[in-house]
Structure 1
């Protein structure tokens, strides 16, 4: 009887154990799906962060070569920087300070992803700047920087890069190749190349040509008229520095004579293969190569000595052969000097002060004095931005 009753199958009204097992299985499946989802999100976040970090690194080292103007830029920096802070302007011109551009309107534009920038040129349309990077193992870079600080590489791997006064042409050298191109809508166009000595260095644009120093440690310059083929080196082996041009095309430079002053100002005639004209040796200069001719070719600001002390000098180029054409203009210059107008120039002194030279004040016997820049980091020298 007992065996027959045990063999009979009866429906169970309730199964607590089975219900617990089924609930545990459901909980386990939910936890598994949640864990998989979190793992996927973590992988996506880490991958995005890695890409952003790689994109923010400055271009250093490696085997970066010169950019081909006919190809797309090598690198794009499209990560927008934080919104620029607005503050009282530091000067009437833009300044490079501590990895950012302090504009004349009081904005601070951070230069992200460009590495160290050595000099910059403000575009005339107000849409940004052209920035030339400092030398690296990969060479120099030319960046097109938008008004919000985003940057795009126009040129990479050059030994030296120079821009014209309008920011519409660029010349560069790599190895024994000297090249020049126009800058149109943020791209390089119409490239011309020439063969030059390996030690030659392009310095600046002068009247549509590129001024080239034949060797950095020896006197001698030549004008490259943007023609392809080997560079004709000319006959000038005397000039040590050239500061700009007069309206008639003659160049204002300096030489170091065998006797007498350390260096003196001269005029070089391109029509005579940069032969020296009058005066044979004009006012004395410091010989350090710092200086620039005003846009109208009337004035030269150059380092020299006045009353036995080092000073920046304002030279009236219409009276270069007379001592009355030279006046003390302010403390000695460091870095470059930028003429913002034909009668106003800016430069930095050795203490980091900004010096504004007004021609009318200097000619009245009132040399310029430096202005301290608020918030300038210790040991930092401002760099005046050209153009604009």
Structure 2
């Protein structure tokens, strides 16, 4: 083979070998690319975590600043509580403190429940609470939130403080004496439901005037005030449809019922005249029966009838001095039926038994009214509660 052809063949062979990619044990470029991908993924996850943290922080701050937002713990659509929504729980705080009891009844003090057994159960994360009812089985409480722009909330609070929303967005919420039924009002809808194992059951609804307000359960019915700024009440027998407005336009307040079904209420005989007690007949559209105008009251609506219907504790005046009054409903129309019982009441009064009631006075003291002592001429005196902040008014827990 001539030398020039041999040289050309050799050059062609070497050029082909140089064009073939040779496998190497280590690929520096691939390693660099994979390392860059891992770094990018880490940065992406870190950025997402920071964004979530910022959103949570801003949301929590907003909830603290804006009282009109629903409190933490989930919500229940009040318009259709029969459909079970996803309800979150407020996590229980650390175990309740145990100390010497400060009263014979449970008290709501400074966003916590002080039990008669000496435990402190903080109510954290559920907003301001206005009323609390202890369940008869001892498994916790029902707590009614204070009114906000988002409405009232009803919470089921377990013995360890864990809370769950039962109702949200109501204008008003009332419970029966056993904590087994709840009535509420939202807009023009008046509703009632049973409370079974921490859930609502068998809801009944009726249409009612927008200004109507449920007040309490009375003999299996719900007492409704037709308007907060005008006299007049009606008993709703828990039937669907439209609320029968009845014919009562005179009663200013109603405090409870007698065993025969008549209601103990207040009326105002005329403009500028004081409010006086009377008995109202449900069979006659709550028309007054005897007496037409009995003992005078303060007219503030504070008071309650004992469970047996024998006694009424109400604010009024005795010997020209503002006082809580104990009224014997058997001798209702006699001057001796009214006795001074203690300092004026603030908030609700709770009958713990048929002859013992509790309430708070304006100075934050707890008043225990024993019927036998008051009848014997010894009005009750307030007891200062240890550990209660100045200006804090305790709320007596009902039920139990």
TM-score category of the 2 structures, normalised to the smaller one: 0.7 to 0.9
TM-score, normalised relative to structure 2: 0.84
Greater shift in the superposed pair: 162-171 or 374-383? 374-383
- 5+ residue gaps, structure 1: 1-25
Deviation at 1:82, TM superposition (A): 1.3
Partner SS, residue 318 of structure 1: coil
Does the aligned pair in 2 maintain the 1:74–1:153 contact within 8 Å? Answer: no
What is the match of residue 217 of structure 2? 205
Aligned equivalent of 1:368, options 358, 370, 380: 380
| Structure 2 unmatched ranges of 5 or more | 1-30
Task: State the partner residue of 1:306.
Answer: 318
Contact 1:329–1:362 (CA<8 Å) still a contact in 2?
yes
**Greater shift in the superposed pair: 74-83 or 55-64:** 55-64
Q: Deviations over 1:11-59 (max 9, x none)?
A: xxxxxxxxxxxxxxx9xx99x9999889968976985797599589579
Aligned with 1:344 (options 356, 375, 380) = 356
1:171 lines up with 2:183 in the alignment = yes
Distance in 2 (CA, whole Å) between partners of 1:93 and 1:49 is 44
Alignment of 1:311-330 (within 5 A): 311-330=323-342
Matched position secondary structure for 1:170: strand
250-259 vs 65-74, which deviates more?
65-74
Mapped pair 1:154 → 2:177: no
| Residues 254 and 87 (structure 1), Cα distance of their counterparts in 2 relative to 1, 3 Å cut | same
Q: Scaled by the length of structure 1, what TM-score is found?
A: 0.86
1:125 aligns with 2:137: yes
State yes or no: 1:239 paired with 2:251: yes
Match of 1:223 in 2: 235
Q: Distance in 2 between matches of 1:205 and 1:336?
A: 15
Q: 1:363 to 1:182 in 2, by over 3 A?
A: same
Question: Over the residues paired in the alignment, what is the CA RMSD in angstroms?
Answer: 2.6
4+ runs of 1 displaced by more than 4 Å?
A: 32-60, 62-65
- 2: distance between equivalents of 1:370 and 1:216? 31
* Aligned mate of 1:145, from 157, 162, 167: 157
1:55–1:113 Cα contact (<8 Å) kept: no
* In structure 2, distance between residues paired with 1:334 and 1:184: 32
For residues 62 and 331 of structure 1, do their structure 2 counterparts lie closer, same or farther at Cα, with a shift above 3 Å needed? closer
Higher radius of gyration, 1 or 2: 2
User: What pairs with 1:371-382 in structure 2 (closer than 5 Å)?
Assistant: 371-382=383-394
Deviations 1:317-337 (CA, angstroms, capped at 9, x unpaired)? 001000111110000000000
- CA shift in 2, pair 1:235/1:52, >3 Å: same
Aligned residues: 360
The structure-2 alpha-carbon separation of the partners of 1:114 and 1:74, relative to structure 1 and needing over 3 Å to count, comes to farther
CA shift for structure 1 position 113: 1.5
Are the counterparts in 2 of residues 77 and 113 from structure 1 also a CA contact under 8 Å?
A: no
User: Which digits, 9 at most, give the CA deviation of each residue in 1:246-277, with x for residues without a partner?
Assistant: 00000000011117851110000111111110
Counterparts of 2:187 and 2:287, CA distance in 1:
28
What is the alpha-carbon distance in structure 1 between the residues aligned to residue 214 and residue 365 of structure 2?
29
Partner residue of 1:61 out of 44, 59, 68? 68
Q: Distance in 2 between matches of 1:73 and 1:130?
A: 19
Residues 194 and 294 (structure 1), Cα distance of their counterparts in 2 relative to 1, 3 Å cut: same
Match of 1:88, SS state, is coil
How far apart are residue 74 of structure 1 and its match? 5.7
